[in-house]
């Protein structure tokens, strides 16, 4: 009988769910050794539990495996973080590692990377012709409604569309402007020019963005308004971490 591996991730019923969070299920399922394990999601009372994509460590419980996830805020505004021990095999970036080691006294290897960076190994996006010369905007899910009136040279993508549709749009576009962290991460994964947008402050701040940027040794930079966009400001270096090291860290191969 196969052992259950329970993926704990943030799933919401709005639309297709936030695309970045939904990528967690696809990536873990793609990596999982299906001869030995069966993937389940958000179940209770499982022996093997894993948190991967998303700023979701604060809900972890003792003995959970952390594979590339990150801390959402520091100091934590969401409370929780009630765990005393975790099996950390990789984390999103240096800021998460520092929090786990210094604040929680939990060993954490220097293996960085959001698992969404592995996406090109498992998903070949479809090219959308009408987007090839367009600049797309991917708002944070809480801000999508604020981008209804945008000039025609931009296309606004709903982050709650099916994750494949969002990834196809990122892959097809000329450039990506994003206030969604995973808009930037997926753009880096497919080596698409991108830039962070911070027109509206997130209640959680910028900790998770800085965490990811540090893992990439990428300067922290953003524009305040869509009209501040200039292609000379785009980040064009793509992913810079060793994704094979990240992949090998997955414990259920």
Q: What are 221-235's pLDDT values in tens digits?
A: 999 999 999 999 999
- Residue 4, helix vs strand vs coil: strand
Task: Report the alpha-carbon distance of residue 50 to residue 29 in Å, rounded.
Answer: 12
Strands 48-51 and 87-90: unpaired
| Residue 127 sits in the same domain as residue 109 | no
Residue 151 above 80 pLDDT? no
Q: What are 10-56's pLDDT values in tens digits?
A: 999 889 999 999 999 999 999 999 999 999 999 999 999 999 999 99
pLDDT given for residue 148 in this prediction: 83
Mean pLDDT of the chain, nearest integer: 96
| Residue 91 sits in the same domain as residue 188 | no
Alpha helix (H) residue ranges in the chain: 19-31, 94-98, 163-172, 181-189, 207-215, 243-249
pLDDT given for residue 30 in this prediction: 98
pLDDT given for residue 43 in this prediction: 96
First to last CA, the chain: 17
Tokens 């997926």 found at: 186
- For residue 90, what are its two tokens? 């990789």
| Residue 7 sits in the same domain as residue 116 | yes
Q: What are 67-111's pLDDT values in tens digits?
A: 999 999 998 888 789 999 999 999 999 999 999 999 999 999 999
Percent of the chain with pLDDT over 70: 100
Strands 154-156 and 37-41: unpaired
Task: Report the alpha-carbon distance of residue 21 to residue 178 in Å, rounded.
Answer: 16
pLDDT given for residue 54 in this prediction: 93
pLDDT given for residue 1 in this prediction: 87
179 phi, psi to nearest 5 deg: -100, 0
| Residue 110 sits in the same domain as residue 36 | yes
CA dist 125 → 14, 31, 41, 226 (Å): 24, 18, 25, 26
Per the structure, the complete domain to which residue 85 belongs is given by 3-120+242-249
Total tally of structural domains belonging to the chain: 2
Looking at residues 240-249, what average pLDDT do you find? 97
| Residue 62 sits in the same domain as residue 136 | no
| Residue 169 sits in the same domain as residue 101 | no
| Residue 228 sits in the same domain as residue 126 | yes
Asked if 49 and 209 count as a contact pair (C-beta separation under 8 A), the reply is no
- For residue 246, what are its two tokens? 């990240």
pLDDT given for residue 152 in this prediction: 79
Dihedral sign (CA 180, 161, 250, 244) = negative
Looking at residues 131-148, what average pLDDT do you find? 93
Q: What is the CATH number of the domain that holds 203?
A: 3.40.50
| Residue 17 sits in the same domain as residue 112 | yes
pLDDT band at 115 (very low <50, low <70, confident <90, very high): very high
**Strand partners for 5:** 39, 48
Tokens 């206030």 found at: 179
């Amino acid at each position: 009988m196969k052992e259950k591996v329970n993926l704990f991730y943030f799933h919401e019923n709005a639309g297709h769910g936030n695309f970045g969070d939904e990528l967690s299920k696809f990536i873990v399922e793609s990596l999982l050794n299906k001869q030995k394990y069966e993937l389940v999601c958000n179940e209770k009372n499982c022996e093997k539990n894993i948190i991967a994509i998303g700023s979701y460590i604060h809900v972890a419980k003792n003995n959970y495996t952390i594979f590339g996830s990150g801390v959402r805020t520091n100091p934590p505004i969401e409370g929780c973080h009630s765990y005393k021990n975790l099996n950390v095999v990789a984390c999103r970036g240096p800021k998460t590692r520092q929090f786990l080691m210094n604040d929680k006294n939990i060993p954490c290897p220097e293996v960085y990377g959001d698992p969404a960076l592995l996406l090109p190994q498992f998903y070949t996006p479809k090219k959308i012709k009408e987007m090839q010369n367009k600049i797309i905007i991917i708002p944070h899910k809480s801000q999508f409604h604020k981008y209804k009136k945008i000039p025609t040279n931009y296309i606004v993508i709903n982050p709650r569309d099916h994750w494949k549709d969002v990834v196809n749009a990122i892959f097809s576009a000329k450039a990506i402007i994003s206030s969604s962290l995973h808009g930037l991460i997926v753009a880096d994964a497919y080596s698409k020019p991108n830039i962070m947008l911070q027109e509206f402050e997130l209640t959680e701040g910028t900790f998770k963005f800085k965490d990811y940027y540090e893992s990439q040794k990428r300067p922290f930079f953003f524009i305040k308004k869509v009209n501040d966009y200039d292609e000379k400001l785009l980040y064009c270096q793509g992913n810079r971490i060793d994704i094979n090291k990240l992949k090998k860290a997955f414990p259920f191969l």
